[in-house]
Amino acid sequence: MIQEKIVIGSNTKYPLNGMLTIPNEANELYPVAVFVHGSGPSNMDAQIGPNTFFKDIAEGLAEKGIASIRYDKRTFVYGKVMKDDPGLSVKEETIEDAVRAAELLRKHPKIDPNKIFIIGHSFGGMLAPRIDAEGGNFAGIIIMAGSPRKLEEIMMSQNDAVLNSLNKLLRWIAKKQIAAFSKKFDNLYDLTDEQAKSTKLLGNLRAYYFKEMGASPASNYLKQLEKPIFIILGEKDVQASITEDFEGYKGLLKDKEHAKFKLYPNLNHLFMNSVYGNIMKIKKEYAIPQKVDQQVINDMAEWILSN
């Protein structure tokens, strides 16, 4: 395979280093996938501890004749500058760069411009249908461990999962903290944009970040979607839910012939073998060196090549 260094947004305020992985075969045009990160700052390999989630998938897809593009997340490189922006939204954090990646690929001499797909993981999966609608114009969408719910809903359900794993005394303390946290979201959508920009909710993250994202939920885009979509989840994922998320997608896409779904036994949020299956031991689990499950890569490759 060929690893070609690229820059996303080279003529913008936020240029990002990236890598275009191309299968090392004959002179033909390749299908390609744009990788979109989960939440939080992350490098182009989507590295968590010793694990390189995007790098694994890029190399696996290249073996199947599929190119891919991955790049440092904007908050990974420019987080210190961006955290003070009261108007920060998912547009600046994620959407713009994914669209720029697609535009760069359309001009590349080794890429089939009609076969550009998006693979969104977790938070990136939540945003993938919106990225497609707001300029990505992809041939198809793969959502890995995503959610059709609003961000604040997911955060609250993850808090509940943590709560259920605590002993009685800690649960009582945490319950009060979670109730206070939940209250912050009560009037979120009643705030004006200016009020939302001046209200800090989570560290430096303003209410506007949640309001702007929540006003454009994935469900709006999924109901309109008329292109292939493949939704996958590990059965042992403690950050996404089979009931709320996987089945939620199924409900929204039940009338769409182009929608495909698959659950993978014993895989976690990174589509690697589940070790602890406990939300309180996520960091410990991600510190164990593993690789993305080969069957997941095979299935994604087969789906891309058939679309």
Answer with the residue of higher pLDDT: 161 or 198: 198
Residue 115 has pLDDT above 60, yes or no: yes
Sketch out the chain's domains with CATH numbers: 2-148+217-305 (3.40.50.1820), 150-214 (no CATH)
CA nearest neighbour of 237 among 287, 193, 271, 196: 271
CA atoms within 13 A on the CB side of 77: 18
Report helix, strand or coil for 19: strand
What does the pLDDT look like over 145-175, one tens digit per residue? 999 998 878 776 655 554 455 555 555 455 5
Which pLDDT band, with edges at 50, 70 and 90, does 249 fall under? very high
Q: CA–CA separation, 184 vs 219, rounded Å?
A: 24
Which pLDDT band, with edges at 50, 70 and 90, does 287 fall under? very high
Segment 253-280 shows an average pLDDT of 94
Residue 54 has pLDDT above 70, yes or no: yes
CA atoms within 13 A on the CB side of 252: 23
Q: How many CB atoms lie within 10 A of CB 25?
A: 11
What does the pLDDT look like over 60-92, one tens digit per residue? 999 999 999 999 999 999 999 898 899 999 999
Bridge partners, residue 19, by sequence: 5, 70
Chain centre to alpha carbon of residue 97 = 13
Contacts of residue 42, Cβ cutoff 8 Å, sequence gap at least 6: 48, 72, 73, 76
One-letter amino acid at 5 equals K
Bridge partners, residue 261, by sequence: 231
> Could you tell me whether strands 51-52 and 47-48 are parallel, antiparallel, or unpaired per DSSP bridges?
antiparallel
Q: CA–CA separation, 137 vs 156, rounded Å?
A: 32
